[in-house]
Structure 1
Amino acid sequence: MIKTFRFTTLLILYLSCQTFAQTIEPLRQKIQKIVATKNATIGISIIGNNAKDTLSINGDKHLPMQSVYKFPIALAVLSEVDKGKLSLNQKINITKEDLHQNTWSPIREKYPNGTTLSLSEVIKYTVSDSDNIGCDILLKLLGGTKKVEDYFYSINFKNISIKATEEEMHKEWNVQFQNWITPKAASELLELFYYNKKKLLSKESHNFIWKVMSETWTGNKRLKGKLPIGTIVAHKTGTSDTNSEGLTPAVNDIGIVFTKNGHFFINIFVTNSKESTETNEKIIADIAKLTWDYFEAKNK
């Protein structure tokens, strides 16, 4: 009788594992069809269904973040806010000399002669609007990129490298590759943030950056591109220039996407692409829609 019970239990466990493996596999196969036809390296990490469903492609590769790195920089700044070393209400003087040309900056466009903004406003510009000048102001306030890395080492978060400012990346093409993350680590970072693991942030700071991420409007043709209107997506994009040979090192989007009955973490890095900008963004949009459909059907 005991042997029969054990056999039955093992059979149920085996069949459960097989069912799990088979349900995620069709999604992987559909994504692989998209990836296989593109002249690019594509890194993907997806986690959903309370971490029961996971999928990665090139998940351990070191891929350039570009502006995706503004999200971890914001987390490092908010950790200093929570320690009382900085305040979201403190005023930051931005001079005309700070407003470098030939870089993406809604701050510069709105305030060409300089201005004074609160720290919370600078973070919003940096994350929601992907402002490059705002990003370098935050790094200067922290004391440099090493301070960001030190923060992540302190919480035992690995597989991320933040070495260069936006200004440094604009001066030298290859510098952008010094700021990298793996797709799997990007998922881990979003999980840490969303579930506030390790008490990453205070409730106030968590709610603040959640709102900022949810209001990100850049790259609306990427993760959000083919999702139903009104879908909640808290995300951060990253985009590089294209060189004279038609090579684009980074078209990225990482985020938390909600279905009607749940959510999933999805990170897509299109790297070293010879495809057009429209195609690169469509890769992300198509994969996000396939993933949304999968989890929406599964969680009904």
Structure 2
Amino acid sequence: MRTLSWKRTAIVALGAASFLSGCVPANQASGRLEPAKLPPPPPAAPTSPPLPTNVSRSQPPADLLNALQNLGTRFPGTVGIVVRDVQNGWSVGYNGDALLPQQSVSKLWVAIAVMDAVDRGVLSLTDPVTVRRSDLTVFHQPIRPLVGPDGYRTTIGALLEGAMTRSDNTCNDVLLWKVGGPAAIRRLLRAKGVDGVGFGPGERILQAKTAGLTWQDDWAGGWGFLQARAKLSYAARDAALKRYLAAPYDGASANGITLGLAMLQRGTLLGNASTVHLLSLMRRSKTGPLRLRSGLRPGWTLAHKTGTGQDLGSFSTGYNDVGIVQAPDGHSYTVAVLIGSTRQPIPVRMRLMGDVTRALITVLQ
């Protein structure tokens, strides 16, 4: 049982905080602590008034709603923010139904599709895979130096780890096609009841369209793509970004993402072993240490997935972090902060994400 601490002064200060980046390291999660069963006090002993608790709370705390609304309203850019209580089901946020770019957040849905295939016996994490140079994508792909003329032999499990802990675009795209491509991911999301989440055309086509280009196979690896993009005029790239933001090819809402994460945490998307494995990978993610994770306090943990889109000058798109925040007593909250577009520098964006985590913990700790 957790004691609810209402700290209105802290929440007001949170909304007006300066935009400087900070980081509080997370400790390892502990198991759920069951309250001790104490004998009743002697009849003559004085009793203290009961402490307020959020047991059986069916409505979200007003202080948390106010904090998130304040953070979203004050942020200079387009943003969607949602916090959802996994066990009790309520959610609060700001602009939570807007469809915004996911970018690498979409790797989460590929990972769920992979583990669903494992549950059904279609794939095994130990299945061998050879990654060819023709499989290489664009931007962040740590696997690229390992892929020689004869390819690189690895496994489904290793590719999944690369995609989820290092956000490797090539690892993710290889897995995407192993489970049937974008159409298969969309069918899975519909079948599982994850509403408000779309899925794009795959990394290479997505990034080419976002830049105003049509993908060419000889761009595998990224250099050809970058050279072609550099030749585009500012006006052409600006027009392409505006088309993307108006109707993101990989659009999802913060509400939809937190719903999917809550289903994952509750074990309704995957079997138990697959759920445990995927959440373990998400907790070990090496990306975005100063995003949602920067607002954690000792004893609180985060399993998450980041996303980062393309920039044009000072204009940035698809800067995201989504995940499952777990309290020391095991209670869980899913969180999504999707920055669709902004001209604010990276430290300001990271501060917003950390402030969302800080607001959650300040109100509900």
Same fold? TM cut 0.5:
yes
Aligned-pair identity in percent equals 22
Give matches, 1:271-282, under 5 Å. 271-282=340-351
In the alignment, which of 161, 186, 202 is matched to residue 124 of structure 1?
Answer: 161
- Residue 33 of structure 1 corresponds to which residue in structure 2? 70
Q: 1:91 to 1:280 in 2, by over 3 A?
A: same
Aligned counterpart, 1:241: 310
- Provide, for residues 256-275 of structure 1, a one-character-per-residue CA deviation record: whole Å limited to 9, x for no partner: 11222222111111111111
* Structure 1 residue 232: Cα displacement: 1.6
Deviation string, structure 1 residues 107-135 (Cα, Å, up to 9, x no partner): 11455654111101101101111010111
Q: 1:99 to 1:57 in 2, by over 3 A?
A: same
Instruction: Note the C-alpha offset of 1:192.
Output: 0.9
Residues of 1 paired with 2:94 and 2:68: CA distance?
9
* 1:143 to partner: Cα distance: 2.3
Mapped to 2, the partners of 1:229 and 1:260 lie a distance apart of 8
| SS state at 1:161 partner | coil
Does 1:185 find its partner at 2:253? no
2:133 corresponds to which of 93, 96, 100: 96
Secondary structure of 2:297's partner?
A: coil
Instruction: State the distance in 2 between where 1:279 and 1:250 align.
Output: 15
Q: Does residue 208 of the first structure (1) align with residue 245 of the second (2)?
A: no
Whole-angstrom distance in 2 between the partners of 1:172 and 1:163: 11
1:52 Cα shift? 5.6
Match of residue 66 from structure 1: 103
Larger radius of gyration: 2
Stretch of structure 1 that moved more, 263-272 or 229-238: 229-238
Note if 1:258 corresponds to 2:308. no
- Map 1:68-217 to 2 at 5 A: 68-100=105-137, 102-111=138-147, 114-173=151-210, 174=241, 177-197=248-268, 200-217=269-286
- For the residue of structure 2 that corresponds to 1:172, the secondary structure is helix
Instruction: Tell me if 1:286 matches 2:355.
Output: yes
Q: Which residue of 1 aligns with 2:25?
A: none
Structure 1: which amino acid aligns with 2:143? I
Q: Is the 2:58–2:88 contact (alpha carbons within 8 Å) kept by the matching residues of 1?
A: no
Which letter does structure 2 place at the counterpart of 1:103? F
1:202, 1:294 → 2: CA distance?
Answer: 33
TM-score normalised by the chain length of structure 2: 0.70
Contact 2:291/2:354 (CA < 8 Å) preserved in 1?
Answer: yes
Query: Post-superposition shift, 1:291?
Result: 0.8
Quote the residue 2:232 is aligned against. Answer: none
Quickly say closer, same or farther: Cα 1:119–1:282, change in 2 above 3 A: same
Secondary structure, aligned partner of 1:272: strand
The residue type paired with residue 144 of structure 2 is R
Instruction: Report how far residue 84 of structure 1 moved.
Output: 1.4
Q: Say if 2:132 and 2:152, in contact at 8 Å, map to a contact too.
A: yes
1:218 equivalent in alignment to 2:287: yes
Q: Distance in 2 between matches of 1:54 and 1:194?
A: 15
Q: Give a deviation string over 1:18-45, Cα, whole Å, max 9, x none.
A: x976x72222223333323221111111
Q: CA deviation at 1:166?
A: 0.8
1:237 aligned counterpart, secondary structure: strand
Query: 2:224: which partner in 1?
Result: none
Distance change (3 Å), C-alpha of 1:207 and 1:150? same
Asked if the contact 2:321–2:337 (Cα under 8 Å) also holds between the matched residues in 1, the reply is yes
* Partners of 1:146 and 1:163 within 8 A in 2: no
Q: State the Cα RMSD in Å.
A: 2.2
1:47 match:
84
Question: Do the aligned residues in 2 keep the contact of 1:24 with 1:53 (CA within 8 Å)?
Answer: no
Separation (CA, whole Å) in 1 of partners of 2:301 and 2:267: 19
What count of residue pairs does the alignment treat as equivalent? 274
Q: Over residues 223-266 of structure 1, what are the superposed CA-to-partner deviations in whole Å (9 max), with x where a residue is unaligned?
A: 1113125632111111112113x221211111111222222111
Is the Cα–Cα contact under 8 Å of residues 259 and 295 in structure 1 kept in the other structure?
Answer: no
Question: Which residue is equivalent to 1:4?
Answer: none
Indicate if the aligned counterparts of 1:49 and 1:295 stay in contact, CA closer than 8 A.
no
CA contact (8 A) 2:63 2:363 kept: no
CA contact (8 A) 2:295 2:356 kept: no
In 2: Cα distance, 1:286 partner to 1:155 partner: 31
The alignment partner of 1:267 has SS state of strand
1:56 is paired with a residue whose SS is strand
Q: Which structure is higher in helix share?
A: 1
Report the counterpart of residue 27 of structure 2 in structure 1: none
8 Å Cα contact 2:257-2:336 kept in structure 1? yes
CA distance in 1, matches of 2:304, 2:148: 28
